[in-house]
Chain A
């Protein structure tokens, strides 16, 4: 092959392309390595707790007996948060997407996003110092009037530092997450569907029931799942608000504990096997949130294909 005017290389750094694309590839692989590392190092450090004789684990009955009450506690707190946050979030999202005046909508969205901007430790401090105190009369009322329900069994905590208070604080924290995701979905409702419903003489609410909610259902479900993931892993709101203890059915007594708060409260002073136990607990939390998030993402990705076909 003879040299032609075309084989002479020109322009800056023909090697640059290789170096640069290599660097971007390396960064991408680093992320995979980090995630793999998260799992690997958690497992390595957790093994001692999993193989140690039961008597040496906190509580003296082995790792399983240690972990299951706080897994249940984690689920209770997250469930309370979702039960409260889901309807309110959907209402707020609808308000911003379909009820508020157009000019105000983006500003109102920003106000709700402010809720997400407040650091978790501030929510924890607020829950412990303000909400717990203000809400304890309500707990007394619940205990005396609804006490026949196991979840409202008295005597109510005098400080108000209960799993229900923690759940309410968690609800405030997941609310902006669920709201912003569902709002996006609601705004994507095809305008033609909405206008078709309105042209049939539907009221605004009937139009929403006919078009917006069915269209947004997969989005709502995955948004709630992502909110669940956040609520399961949130630490500070529980660590500061809840006065923890053994697993109890009553939501208005002190007691119960979540994995994240258990780790935060004990890790700083832990050593030896206790460190391994807490890391093993973290691994359990990681697996639970991983499962929840994967299901949520799977629903979203299915929904994407679905809406793409329309």
Chain B
């Protein structure tokens, strides 16, 4: 259960301001794709357009097509709520719901949509999701405790468990490790490796070593200057991007000459 994403000629605007210009990219199913690039180059903005989360920001809009196994996310009659239930998202800072227990956090996507589920089914889903997020062994004895009582890294894995409990096709991750310590980061990176057996994973990261460690393919975004739109410079196998990029800017960035 994973789908591919094909983006064709996508422009992203904040009101009049063109934030990301003319991106076309194919994201393979059951693979990890990393977006790298300097701050403000539009990679997070672009990531949000892949599940229409940019619509939360007033004035943000897109032109172009994003196809999920051939179905356009921006086609007529498409409900953003449906899109988001198929393409989940994990955020920069772990954000478990503070009013809910660990168990309820995992079930949030189901419960908030008022879907009926027997206790047995719910228990199975909680265990499956938490195991999927490598968190089960750490929290199985305190499922009724508040999620905000976990450590930062555990909270982030709880958020991943919450995302996969909805059974999406694709998981988007927006710098999921930037607020975590190195050991928690390692746990998340291991988890990403496991996730790609079942899901299509897209990860935005500032950390080039991380991109090199976890991703199969890497896309490099860059920006010409402040006020200019961000652009996709180059996309390819991670190994190629880091060792033998075709573009000068990519080479400068991955070799640490700027950014």
- How many angstroms between the C-alpha atoms of A8 and B86 in the bound complex? 12
Which residues, 136 to 153 on A, are CB-close (under 8 Å) to B?
none
- Of A9-17, A125-133, A235-243, the stretch lying at the interface with chain B is A9-17
Contacts A1-B76, A5-B86; A10 near B71 (Cβ below 8 A): no
Chain B residues in 8 Å Cβ range of A12:
113-115
Interface size class of A (residues with CB under 8 A): 10 to 19
In whole Å, how far is B112's beta carbon from the nearest beta carbon of chain A? 8
- How many angstroms between the C-alpha atoms of A9 and B81 in the bound complex? 8
Contact with A along B90-133 (1 / 0, CB 8 A): 00000000000000000000000111000000000000000000
Contacts A6-B82, A12-B114; A1 near B71 (Cβ below 8 A): no
Contact with A along B11-31 (1 / 0, CB 8 A): 000000000000000000000
In whole Å, how far is B86's beta carbon from the nearest beta carbon of chain A? 7
Closest residue of chain A to B82 (Cβ to Cβ) is A10
Please tell me if the beta carbons of B73 and A6 are within 8 angstroms of each other in the complex.
yes
Chain A residues in 8 Å Cβ range of B227:
none
Closest residue of chain A to B70 (Cβ to Cβ) is A4
Of listed B76, B77, B115, residue having the most chain A CB within 10 A: B77
Closest residue of chain B to A12 (Cβ to Cβ) is B114
Of listed A5, A6, A7, residue having the most chain B CB within 10 A: A6
Please tell me if the beta carbons of B76 and A14 are within 8 angstroms of each other in the complex.
no
Contacts A10-B82, A11-B82; A4 near B75 (Cβ below 8 A): yes
Which residues, 1 to 52 on A, are CB-close (under 8 Å) to B?
1, 4-14
Please tell me if the beta carbons of A6 and B86 are within 8 angstroms of each other in the complex.
yes
- How many angstroms between the C-alpha atoms of A11 and B112 in the bound complex? 9
Contact with B along A159-191 (1 / 0, CB 8 A): 000000000000000000000000000000000
Chain A residues in 8 Å Cβ range of B70:
4
In whole Å, how far is B101's beta carbon from the nearest beta carbon of chain A? 21
Please tell me if the beta carbons of A14 and B75 are within 8 angstroms of each other in the complex.
no
Please tell me if the beta carbons of A7 and B113 are within 8 angstroms of each other in the complex.
no
Please tell me if the beta carbons of A10 and B68 are within 8 angstroms of each other in the complex.
no
- How many angstroms between the C-alpha atoms of A1 and B78 in the bound complex? 11
Chain B residues in 8 Å Cβ range of A7:
75, 77-79, 82
Closest residue of chain B to A10 (Cβ to Cβ) is B82
Chain B residues in 8 Å Cβ range of A13:
114
Please tell me if the beta carbons of B71 and A11 are within 8 angstroms of each other in the complex.
no
Closest residue of chain B to A9 (Cβ to Cβ) is B79
Contact with A along B59-76 (1 / 0, CB 8 A): 000000000111111011
Chain A residues in 8 Å Cβ range of B44:
none
Please tell me if the beta carbons of A6 and B68 are within 8 angstroms of each other in the complex.
yes
- How many angstroms between the C-alpha atoms of A12 and B81 in the bound complex? 10
In the complex, whether B198 has a CB less than 8 A from a CB of chain A is no
Chain B residues in 8 Å Cβ range of A4:
70-72, 75, 78
- How many angstroms between the C-alpha atoms of A5 and B69 in the bound complex? 10
Please tell me if the beta carbons of B81 and A10 are within 8 angstroms of each other in the complex.
yes
What are 21 sample pairs from A and B whose C-beta atoms fall under 8 A apart?
Answer: A4-B72, A5-B86, A6-B68, A6-B72, A6-B73, A6-B75, A6-B78, A6-B79, A6-B82, A7-B75, A7-B78, A7-B79, A8-B82, A9-B79, A9-B81, A10-B79, A10-B85, A11-B85, A11-B113, A12-B113, A12-B114
Interface residues of A (CB under 8 A from B): 1, 4-14
Known: A6-B83, A12-B115. 8 other contacts (CB 8 A): A5-B69, A6-B72, A6-B73, A6-B78, A6-B82, A10-B82, A11-B82, A11-B113
